[in-house]
Amino acid sequence: MTYVADAELPPYERTPSSQSRALAAAIRLGVRPFSGRVKGGPTGVRVWRTLLGAGSHCLRADPRVHVQPLNDPCVDLPEIRRPVRGEWLRPPGGDASRGVILYLHGGAYAICSPRTHRVITTRLAMDTGMPVLAPRYRQAPEHPFPAAFEDALDAYRLLLARGLPPERITVVGDSSGGHLAAALAGEACRTDLPTPGKVVLFSPWIDLTGELALTSPMLRRDPFIVPAVATRFGRLYVGGGDWNDPRLSLLTCASADLPPFLIQVGGIEVLRDEAEKFADALAEAGADYELQVWPGQMHVFQMFNGLIPEASEAMREAAHFIRRDVDHGSVPEAA
Model confidence band, residue 44 (pLDDT cutoffs 50, 70, 90): confident
Q: pLDDT tens digits for 269-278? A: 999 999 999 9
| Greater pLDDT, 125 or 5 | 125
- Please tell me which residue in 20, 179, 203, 269 is annotated as part of the active site: 269
Q: Write down the pLDDT at residue 29.
A: 87
Q: Is 213 left (phi over 0), alpha (psi -120 to 50) or beta?
A: alpha
Tell me if the bond preceding 141 is cis, omega within 30° of 0: yes
Q: What is the pLDDT of residue 6?
A: 77
Q: Is 312 a known active-site residue?
A: no
Mean pLDDT of the 245-259 span: 91
Of the candidates 175, 176, 216, 312, the residue annotated as catalytic is 175
Q: Which of 299, 310, 312, 313 is catalytic?
A: 299
**Cα atoms found within 13 Å of the Cα of residue 257, Cβ hemisphere only:** 13
Task: Determine the 3-state secondary structure of 69 from DSSP.
Answer: strand
pLDDT surpasses 90 at 284: yes
pLDDT tens digits along 147-170:
999 999 999 999 999 999 999 999
Q: What is the mean pLDDT of residues 327-332?
A: 44
Read off the pLDDT band of 38 (50, 70, 90). low
Q: What is the DSSP letter of 116?
A: G
> How many Cβ atoms are within 10 Å of 189's Cβ, its own excluded?
17
Residue 36: count of CB within 10 angstroms of its CB: 12
Phi, psi torsion values for 292, nearest 5 degrees? -120, 115
At 79-126, the pLDDT tens digits run: 998 999 999 999 999 888 889 999 999 999 999 999 999 999 999 999
Give the model's confidence band at 49: pLDDT under 50 very low, under 70 low, under 90 confident, else very high: confident
Is there a catalytic annotation at residue 216? no
Q: By percentage, how much of the chain surpasses pLDDT 90?
A: 77
Q: What is the pLDDT of residue 48?
A: 72
Active site residue 299: yes
What mean pLDDT comes out for the span 171-181? 98
Q: Could you tell me the pTM of the whole model?
A: 0.93
Flag the least confident range among 91-95, 292-296, 300-304. Answer: 91-95
